Amino acid sequence: MLDDAANEAQVRPLLPGGPGCAVIVTSRNRLPALAGATYCELGVLPAEAALDLFTRIVGNDRASTEPASAAEITELCGQLPLAIRVAGARLVSRRQWSLSRLASRLAQEQRRLDELVVGDQEVRASINLSYTLLPKAVRTALRRLGLLGLAHFPAWVAAAAMETDLGGAERVLEDLVDVSLLEVDGVDPLGLMRYRLHDLVRLFALERARDEESPADRAATVERVLGGWIWLVGRITETMPPVVPSIQGSFRLGRPVDQEIAQRVVARPYEWFRAEEEAMTTAVELAVSLDLVDIAVELASALCGTAFGGHNRVLDDSLGSWRRTHDAALTAARRNENALGEATLLAGLGQLYYEHDDFPRARAHLSQALSMFRAAGDVRGEATTLAALGAACREQGYLPEAVHFLDRAGRMWSGLDDPAAMGHVHRLAGTVRLEMGDYPGTLAALTEARTSFTAAGSRRGEGLTLRSLSLYHRARGEWAEAEESARAALAIFEGTEDRMLVAYCERALAKALLRRGDSVTARRLAENALEVCRELGDAFGHACTLRVVGETHLADGRLYQAKDCLEDSLRRWTDLRAELFRARTLRTLAEVHDALGDAPAGQRMTAEALETFRAYGAREYQELAVTRLQRS
């Protein structure tokens, strides 16, 4: 057995020539030039084997007393045999220590390598032996990758960190893989190889970066990598413009990335976002820790402004990531008295809360941002925030307030030469006027919206407007036109990855078909939309769609199924504090009670709905008032 061979030249003179002999060679390097060798690459231990090794060292009695701490120690050692051996030996030599004490000390990243030392065994020294043998450029790459602290990353990130081209970065990464200081972490959905540093190697590389890289070089590394993400987001928004206008007119801190990478990202933006979300969140927090406020603010707000940032995401995961980036950058902006950056992030947080159905919190953040944009004289920021406030007010039924904000936003956007933004404001204004029963105003606004989105080349905007037109025609009793508009909207979104808007269009089509007497197809579409809303954590859409499913059951005489769906919807509207939508569900539930023979309950519900419609100035007030007058 030849242990820890440095290269092939060391091994060849020692290889026996006879056929009855075998040699086992261990090495930090792959030794690819050893002809006829069979390679066995050893990774870290599986979790169960790592815990078994640790238990053998410290003793079963001690490990079984604190099983959670024993598992935590092996995890903090990255399941690396040397690290586990050192940690176990430390405990053996310190019988008075509990396992939880060592686990607590290892949990502090800045001290972890200091703790993994016993006698002449030291994890840091073992890694350093490989590090010192690397060429200068490869050592630089390792330091900078450690500085970034990313769980995994593609080659272009390394290229940006090293300030080299993609091919050069890939060669350096392969050199690091060959000496077992870097691992291949698979291929992402874009077909790009992703890499990762073992946690202990990452901590070692971070130490080297702090000792060997100047503060200016560290800052420049982070700015180049974040600049790459910003530039890629810019490419996405060029080809897939968001309907909600961005507060930023341009991404001034972006840095170009390899064109082949950009093409892959633009072709599959949703997959790219999912692959990079964790890394971008970590990078924003790192930039903040280095006081790189401007670029942290720009990346955080750029991500919020993408067409996919608020959609097709499971609620808790999505909101958690965005809050981390915004909260970190917001803290830095306030610390540095960057008022415009603070306003931008407050508006971004408001939009995120809106996307996740927390309308009161959305309005609170947007109101703060509005005042700051106005004080700074930032017209684009003020106009964008006014439109967002209008949307948040609409969802809670504050219709006059919504019209006020949207009309002001429209006047401001009219001077900014942004047809997509004008389309967004006109569409929102049209939906609010529809809620108020202003049908001529609704049609005029939606017609303007469609014209503006067409001029901007926004198919997404056109689809949303067609869906809104379907709601308009349905309110007017124009069932055929409602179905036609809903089908046209659905055709735009089908085949895209925007499952949420597909579900919303299916719900609009279901409502139109229900009015035309096709309750079977309507229920199928509504139940499919309900499943998507449930899966994506869309509370608002879930409540809306439950009501539609309930209506289909009512139409077919399944009164108890209808009652269950509508009562569930009612509870959800109460949680969302969306009183106008709650009243609409209450109105339908009253019909169910009437059909069940419980006229008093139906009358109470109708009266409550009528009062809500009156208080909010909704179109249904006149409809119900006329109906009650006719009955009397």
Closest C-alpha to 278, from 152, 147, 109: 152
DSSP label of 538: -
| Average confidence (pLDDT) over 588-609 | 94
For 8-55, list the strands marked E by DSSP: 25-27
DSSP 243-309: SSPPS-S--TT-----HHHHHHHHHSHHHHHHHHHHHHHHHHHHHHHTT-HHHHHHHHHHHHTSTTT
pLDDT in tens, 512-528: 999 999 999 999 999 99
Residues 578 and 369: their CA atoms lie apart, in Å, by 23
DSSP 499-510: HHHHHHHHHHHH
Determine phi and psi for 174, rounding to 5 degrees. Answer: -65, -35
The residues facing 195 across adjacent strands are 153, 184
| Average confidence (pLDDT) over 348-367 | 90
Give the pairing type, strands 153-154 and 25-27.
Answer: unpaired
Residues 476 and 515: their CA atoms lie apart, in Å, by 12
pLDDT at 366: 96
Distance of alpha carbon 519 from the chain centroid:
36
Helix (H, G, I), strand (E, B) or coil at 152: coil
pLDDT of residue 308 exceeding 50: no
Q: Token pair for residue 560? A: 């108890």
pLDDT at 571: 96
Closest C-alpha to 197, from 40, 44, 85: 44
Q: Which residues have CB under 8 Å from 556's CB, separation 6+?
A: 519, 523
pLDDT at 313: 46
pLDDT at 440: 96
pLDDT at 625: 63
Q: Token pair for residue 299? A: 């990346």
pLDDT in tens, 72-102: 999 999 999 999 999 999 999 999 999 999 9
Residues shown for the chain: 632
The CA dihedral of 13, 14, 16, 22, to the nearest 10 degrees, is: -140
Q: Token pair for residue 434? A: 């529809």
| Range name among 37-51, 538-552, 604-618 with the lowest pLDDT average | 37-51
pLDDT of residue 13 exceeding 50: yes
Residues 410 and 444: their CA atoms lie apart, in Å, by 14
| Average confidence (pLDDT) over 549-568 | 96
pLDDT of residue 23 exceeding 70: yes
pLDDT at 583: 95
Closest C-alpha to 271, from 223, 322, 228, 236: 236
Sign of the torsion formed by the C-alpha atoms of 165, 168, 171 and 173: negative
pLDDT at 251: 72
CATH number given to 134-213: 1.10.10.10
Q: Token pair for residue 613? A: 């419609």
Closest C-alpha to 280, from 193, 195, 153, 163: 153
Rounded to the nearest integer, the mean pLDDT of the chain is 90
Residues 403 and 270: their CA atoms lie apart, in Å, by 33
pLDDT of residue 304 exceeding 90: no
Domain ranges for the chain, please list them: 1-41, 47-127, 134-213, 564-632
Q: Token pair for residue 254? A: 């972006």
DSSP 91-131: HHH-TT--HHHHHHHHTSHHHHHHHSEETTEEHHHHHHHHH
